[in-house]
Amino acid sequence: MTHPPTPGQTVGPFFGYALPYAGGAELVPPGRPDAVRLHGRVLDGRGEAVRDALVELSQASPDGDVPSGAGSLRRDGFTFTGWGRAATDDTGRYSFSTLTPGAPFFALTVFARGLLNRLFTRAYLPEHADDAFLATVAADRRGTLVAERDASGFVFDIRLQGEGETVFLTYPRH
């Protein structure tokens, strides 16, 4: 006998105490010569900071391969695992020290108080704004999936609702 899936419970705010870990947002050491920063803010429907969100990043390595090795929870300073987790601060800011992916985007998952399930989105590199998948998104919403370059890497704000709401993706069985 199989049972149908049941709805998730709210995903927060308890995760702020249990899930962040030392070095979670540092996929590579920040001082590494090829390190870039992916950072931004998580904002609610009124444009106010979500102070206790958690953002997970998954990405390809610079050569385009998807890393499959262990080591994300205990960083060794050398192995690039392509996965990290960052909590937002009191201003809703999150930040990752990582490498520029060899694929067109960073895959992001957002957990926050009041959400019944996690949210999936992508932060496309500006030079890949012509990606085939991105072209399937309505033209007036496409910009919500494109990061901006800054002096340290990329800026990508995540708006959970309202004007300029980030496009969120669905995947089978999620």
User: pLDDT tens, 17-32?
Assistant: 667 778 899 999 999 9
Per-residue pLDDT at 91 exceeds 90: yes
For residues 110-127, give the mean pLDDT: 92
- Which pLDDT does position 5 carry in this prediction? 61
List the beta bridge partners of residue 119.
110
Per-residue pLDDT at 150 exceeds 80: yes
Per-domain boundaries in the chain: 15-159
Q: How confident is the model at residue 47 (pLDDT cuts 50, 70, 90)?
A: very high
Burial pattern 97-136, b for ≥16 Cβ within 10 A else e, equals bbbbbebbbbbbebbbbebeeebbbbbbbeeeeebeebee
Specify the DSSP class assigned to residue 39.
Answer: E
- Which pLDDT does position 116 carry in this prediction? 78
Dig out the tokens for 11 from the structure: 């995903």
User: Contact at 8 Å (CB) between 105 and 38?
Assistant: no
User: pLDDT tens, 2-14?
Assistant: 766 665 555 655 5
CATH for 15-159 is 2.60.130.10
**What is the average pLDDT score of the chain?**
90
Rounded CA-CA distance 40/48 in Å is: 13
C-alpha closest to that of 28 among 83, 65, 68 = 83
For residues 135-140, give the mean pLDDT: 96
